[in-house]
Amino acid sequence: MEILNLEGAEDTPKIMLDKANGIFEISGRSLPEDSAEFYQPVLDWLEAYGASPNPKTEFVFKLEYFNTASSKLILDILSKLEDIDGMTVTWYFHEDDEDMEEAGEEFSELVDIPFEFKTY
């Protein structure tokens, strides 16, 4: 599978999806002008990955901030991940960022995937 590597910018997160090396991470700030368009390649990649996933997959979210439109797409991503066997999510948040911790907890309640919460 091709690696999906989107460099982060001021308004968009860094996204690295690399099946061969087992790297699945979204990090930074997510406020793209058109969230649906920005995240479509990620959803497409995960659809293809789901057909032949690694035995275990740890998907890492290390977001500093995301807007409302992005939260819907994050939920769409998590819904795709839910269909992949061996999936776990690690949700990183800054130790004094209660909003990001709560967001992760809310997402974890909406999908049937084991979540691990870590501070940085």
Q: What is the mean pLDDT of the chain?
A: 97
Model pTM? 0.96
Helix axes 68-82, 98-110, angle to 10 degrees: 40
- pLDDT at site 53: 98
pLDDT range class, residue 59, cuts 50, 70, 90: very high
Helix axes 68-82, 35-51, angle to 10 degrees: 10
What average pLDDT does this structure show over 87-110? 98
pLDDT range class, residue 29, cuts 50, 70, 90: very high
| Helices and strands per DSSP (H, E), number in the chain | 3, 6
What average pLDDT does this structure show over 33-61? 98
- How many structural domains compose the chain? 1
